[in-house]
Structure formats: structure tokens, C-alpha cells
Amino acid sequence: MPNCTLCPRRCSAPRTPTEGRGFCGLPTTMKIGRIQPHLWEEPPISGTRGTGAVFFSGCTLRCAYCQNGDISHRNAGRSFTPRELSEYLRRLTDAGMESVSFITATPYVPQILETLALYRPPVPLVWNTSGYETVETLRRLEGAVDVYLPDLKHYSPRLGGLIARAPDYFEAASAAIREMVRQCGVPQYSPEGIMTRGVLIRHLILPGCTSDSIRLLQWVRDELPEGIPVSLMQQYVPCNNVAIPGLQRRITPREYHRVCEYMREIGLPGFTQGATSATVDFVPVFNQDESFVQP
């Protein structure tokens, strides 16, 4: 992959097995910060046994507040070949996971497809993404991914540029989510309530940005097929030494209730989140021995 165009930045930067000169700064060798069971995703993803979460290092966004800043901003992680990752996927399968989730994995799509050719877990494969994807890259994943779990972060180009360094965020994410829906459609569930196919959209409500949240919910209601669920999250905690005025506090109950009430008014299905999730206690431990599942 001498010149990378996997994400909407299309920086065409050279990447080698040891070095990356693009926006993400990642080499072509996969870097991963954590591979462990994860119990705190939405019920149809985690179920009772959890999802096998593979947290890839690096990200195509630079969300100023990111709680996973060690891996998303600073690329902390360990190197994996496709064969090594396939062995860890077997370990997750052996641990009885309800699903396997690839988290912020876009810079490694070719390597992931190579991994899945070696071993495909016999449970739903979840693509957990910021939503900042290209349609072309997503089409390479068609048939490999069972469930898309995209964020839908910003409607306003101003907020996308200020907070995520992506003023084109909504333009890219809205096209990407339409492609995800084309591939996987409205959710389908196992008898145990695990999502076996489909799209589930996440939205993190940010302090002072409820009008933007409402515009995003309007778009989901107006532009996507009926039945696409939304997970509204109130877990925002100022992390990563965020210095943007207004983002240095948690959201208020009034802000959260305003967005939840609007979601109910327009009849969108989905999930809401308890206030107890707004704590750094839910941030995983990255890049330590305990971060990687053992046989």
C-alpha cells in the first residue's frame, strides 16, 4: 500500500511496514492496543457474554475529547501480523463471545481481510467505526462484515472541523452510513436478541451541542429506512486534556432529556444510556499485558 486512500482524507501518503506518513501516522503493520472481552456495548452487541473487542491503534479523526486518546491520538499498541491476529480471534471465540468487534480499524482493511481469510469467527463480526469512511473502502468489506456500528458525530461542518479536524465529517459519514445500510439493512436478531446483521447508529451528545444532535436524528428519520436504531449516549467526559471552550464539562440532565425526548417524538427506535456511564472508570486499559486475552 504505497499510497493510502482508505479514509476520506485520501492523503495518498506512503506507508511501509514500519512507517506511516499520512494523517493517521500508521504503518501497514497492524497496531492494536487491546484484545479482550468487552461487556459494555449495546445489549444486542454484548449480550450476556460480551463482545470480543479488538481496539486498533490510530484513528482517521482527531476528536479533541477522545477517551481513548492513547491509541487514537498517540498510536500506542503492539504489532500484529494477520496470522497473529487470527490466533487472537480464536482465543475470543474460545472465550464464548457473542460477537467480535473491530474498533477503528479502517487504516488496516487489507490486512483485516487477509486475517479473515485465515480465520473467520463463527459469530457476528461488528465494524465499530467513527463513521468517517469512504464508500469505496466499505465496499471492500461487503460480505465480511455482518453488523455496522457507526458513530454519527457532527452535522455542522464548523463542529466537525473544530472538534474532529474533519469539516467534511457529515458529508462523508452520511454517505458511508447509506452504504452500510445498503449492505446490511435493518437489524436482524438471533432468538437470544443478538444482532446478527444490520446497522445500529451511535450518537454521543456533547455539551452545548443539542441542536446539532437533533439535526442528526432528523436526518436518520428522514433519510434512512424505518427500523434503523440509534443509541443515544450521555457518557461524555472531558478527556485527553481537551481545551475547547464548552467541552470541559459533562452534559446536563436537561441537555440529555431534550435529545431523548426528540428521539421519542419522531419515533426512532434504539437505546438510551444511564448517567452512571459518564465516568473514566469505563475507559479500557490499553497496551499492557492485561490488555490482551490469553489462551
Segments forming the whole domain that contains residue 117:
30-291
pTM for the model stands at 0.96
Average pLDDT over residues 156-174: 98
Report if residue 83 sits inside a domain.
yes
pLDDT at 121: 98
Q: How many domains does the chain have?
A: 1
Report if residue 6 sits inside a domain.
no
Report if residue 167 sits inside a domain.
yes
pLDDT at 276: 54
C-alpha cell at 60: 482517521
pLDDT at 40: 87
Report if residue 1 sits inside a domain.
no
The arrangement of strands across the sheet holding 270-271 comes to 201-204, 230-233, 270-271
Residue whose C-alpha is closest to residue 77's, from 240, 288, 280: 288
Q: Which amino acid is at 19?
A: E
Tell whether the model's pLDDT for residue 54 goes beyond 60: yes
The maximal CA–CA distance of the chain, rounded, in angstroms, is: 51
Report if residue 95 sits inside a domain.
yes
pLDDT at 283: 83
Tell whether the model's pLDDT for residue 241 goes beyond 90: yes
Tell whether the model's pLDDT for residue 93 goes beyond 70: yes
CATH number at residue 152: 3.20.20.70
Report if residue 68 sits inside a domain.
yes
Strand residue runs (E) in the chain: 30-38, 51-56, 78-80, 99-103, 125-129, 147-150, 188-189, 195-199, 201-204, 230-233, 270-271
Average pLDDT over residues 256-261: 96
pLDDT at 3: 87
pLDDT band at 206 (very low <50, low <70, confident <90, very high): very high
| pLDDT single digits (tens) 207-229 | 999 999 999 999 999 999 999 99
Average pLDDT over residues 236-255: 95
Average pLDDT over residues 223-246: 96
Rounded Cα gap, residues 239 and 208, in angstroms = 17
pLDDT band at 277 (very low <50, low <70, confident <90, very high): low
Average pLDDT over residues 32-58: 96
Report if residue 36 sits inside a domain.
yes
- Using alpha carbons only, give the angle 68, 101, 282 rounded to the nearest 5 degrees: 35
Report if residue 7 sits inside a domain.
no
